[in-house]
Amino acid sequence: MKSKKEMIKRKALIFIAFTIGLYIILNIIFVGYPSIIVRGVFTEFTKHDFIAKKEMLGYLSEKYNESFEVVDLDSAFLETDYIGSVAPSSNKSEIFTVIGTPIKNANLHYKYIDNYMKIKWKKEVGTDIDPLLNKYLSSKSYGEIELPNLTDYSLYDNTTLPFKTFQKMQPNIAEINIVLVYTLNKRKEKEYISEVNQFIIQLKKSEIKNISLELYLIDAQHFKSTKEVKSLIKKSGVYPFLSEYSFGIIKQAQFDIHQNYNLNQILGG
């Protein structure tokens, strides 16, 4: 979710773009062709776009030793931050964000930060946890892995370490949260609790540490099927789904799996 500051900045960008566009249209209508000023502005925009794109790709290639493509490039005006939507050439669906801030340097026009590591970490963590979700939890469950601070670019800046290595270095930052949503008949609570306990036992054997669980038991009578629940979650996201269908939550809990716990007590059973 975008912060208030980001929303204000986005509105400012839209206003500036609208003003420039209106000026160009009026210029063409009343003058008959773009003025020298307009052409000069566009020339500068093109020049800065080219520089930003070239430096952005160079920065990413050097940092990750991979090939990338700029999907979209946005800037409010000359000499301002560039925001790029970028994807690795090997998988163009894995879009992440790169931000370039102007600097006064003879060799480089912008300083860049990015959050590509969130994609790489998500894959790494999923390799360990997804098989456990599929093996120990029934088809009535939906599990989603939440990585820490996905919007905090400083977390990823100058970091190319695997998540497990980074977690050992920064255990207080690199925490994992797993959200489990289970669609069930109220009489099946004990069956679900048994599944979750088995899942946690195996999860503790993983090299990934600092894991917390969020459990939500959803009353099945509000939905046609578990398939519908999963479809709704994938469409809106797990937290928007839980907010919209909060009336269907039978029980919920959140706890650290590495602490002593009693799932029956936590869920009020």
Rounded CA separation 128/162 (Å): 13
- Looking at residue 175, its pLDDT comes to 85
Helix, strand or coil, per DSSP, at residue 145: strand
pLDDT tens, residue by residue, 174-200: 888 999 998 887 666 777 888 888 999
| Closest listed residue to residue 50, CA positions, set 21, 82, 95, 13 | 82
Confidence of residue 36 (pLDDT cuts 50, 70, 90): very low
What is the DSSP pairing of strand 211-219 with strand 249-256? antiparallel
Largest CA distance in the chain: 78
What average pLDDT score do residues 214-227 get? 89
Q: Where are the alpha helices (DSSP H) in 137-222?
A: 163-169, 189-203
Rounded CA separation 140/184 (Å): 7
- Looking at residue 61, its pLDDT comes to 94
Size (the chain), residues: 269
pLDDT tens, residue by residue, 37-94: 444 444 444 666 778 888 889 999 999 999 999 998 877 555 567 888 999 999 999 9
- Looking at residue 41, its pLDDT comes to 45
Domains, the chain:
4-114 (3.10.450.570), 118-266 (3.10.310)
pLDDT tens, residue by residue, 126-175: 999 999 999 988 888 888 888 876 556 666 666 788 999 988 888 877 88
Q: Which two tokens stand for residue 59?
A: 């920065």
Rounded CA separation 169/149 (Å): 16
Q: Would you say residue 8 has pLDDT above 80?
A: no
Q: Are the beta carbons of 189 and 269 closer than 8 angstroms?
A: yes
Crossing angle (nearest 10°) for helices 4-31 and 36-64: 140
The model carries a pTM of 0.70
